[in-house]
């Protein structure tokens, strides 16, 4: 299936995996709206990469958990680029604490972005996305790897995994796929934060590839689901180099 002339929204698209996804979709011929939380400079740089790939790009600041802000973002995309075909919700936050020490304010922050934000984006996407479109959410391989201190983060992503197959069935008959990608440890700023080199080396050795994933590794999986992967629907795709 040609993905040329498709319009995509990528949340969390200014940095890390989201930015790699935005660039990869642009390389496949999709115009991309980057939705970001606060970093104007990085968002503008992401748009520059999209345009360098020959696609149209715009940057929109919005809180993915704010329904009015998300509605306004979709309105702007439709006005400036056209009707939406692809929605990638890569926005997310993570903080690591043992359950017994968990700061409930931190739990609420993660729930707001990772769970409510996913639902708000899914709700608006379900209303607007065109036939032939794709919705891709983000989970995490931590739901299987079960690292200590990741309890709150993994719990939020468990909610995402529960939503995906239900939304896929709710959109039955509209030729819209709904999937989630669950990356393993990936070389991003979010991953490196707070880790020693010994921690990083140990985690990198946990899969048969003996390395961390890269944002580009994950972007290839997302691009497949957002383009030619039409017979994959209602699934959580684990992209982790074989970690178990």
Q: How far is the C-alpha of 211 from the C-alpha of 98, rounded, in Å?
A: 26
Element (H, E) at 53: none
Structure-block tokens of residue 99: 């359950």
Whether the CB-CB separation of 124 and 75 falls below 8 Å is answered with no
Count of other CB atoms within 10 angstroms of residue 111: 18
Asked if 54 contacts 38 with a C-beta cutoff of 8 angstroms, the reply is no
In eight-state DSSP terms, residue 213 is B
Q: For residue 129, give the DSSP letter.
A: P
- Of the candidates 183, 153, 16, 30, the one whose C-alpha atom is nearest the C-alpha of residue 91 is 16
Annotated catalytic, 153?
Answer: yes
E-strand ranges in 68-144 read: 86-89, 134-138
Which listed residue (153, 191, 224, 238) is catalytic? 153
Tokens of 218: 């994950």
Q: Which residue has the tokens 């209303």?
A: 127
Query: What is the C-alpha separation between 201 and 102, in angstroms, rounded?
Result: 26
Give the span between the Cα atoms of 178 and 8, in whole angstroms: 14
Structure tokens at 101: 């020490």
Q: Report, as residue numbers or ranges, the catalytic residues.
A: 153
């Amino acid at each position: 299936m040609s993905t040329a002339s498709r319009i995509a929204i990528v949340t969390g698209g200014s940095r890390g995996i989201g930015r790699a996804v935005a660039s990869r979709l642009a390389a496949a011929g999709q115009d991309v709206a980057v939705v970001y939380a606060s970093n104007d400079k990085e968002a503008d740089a992401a748009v520059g990469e999209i345009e360098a790939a020959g696609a149209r790009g715009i940057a929109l600041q919005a809180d993915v958990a704010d329904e009015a802000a998300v509605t306004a973002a979709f309105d702007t995309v439709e006005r400036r680029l056209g009707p939406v075909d692809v929605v990638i919700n890569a926005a997310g936050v993570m903080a690591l604490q043992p359950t017994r020490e968990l700061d409930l304010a931190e739990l609420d922050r993660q729930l707001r972005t990772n769970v409510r934000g996913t639902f708000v984006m899914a709700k608006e996407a379900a209303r607007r996305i065109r036939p032939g479109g794709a919705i891709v959410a983000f989970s995490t391989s931590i739901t299987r790897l079960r690292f200590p201190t990741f309890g709150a983060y993994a719990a939020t992503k468990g909610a995402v995994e529960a939503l995906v197959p239900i939304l896929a069935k709710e959109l039955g008959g509209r030729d819209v796929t709904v999937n989630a990608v669950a990356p393993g440890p990936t070389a991003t700023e979010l991953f490196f934060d707070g880790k020693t080199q010994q921690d990083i080396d140990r985690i990198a050795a946990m899969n048969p590839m003996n390395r961390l994933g890269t944002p580009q590794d994950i972007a290839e999986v997302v691009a497949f689901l957002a383009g030619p992967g039409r017979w994959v629907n209602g699934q959580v795709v684990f992209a982790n180099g074989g970690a178990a």
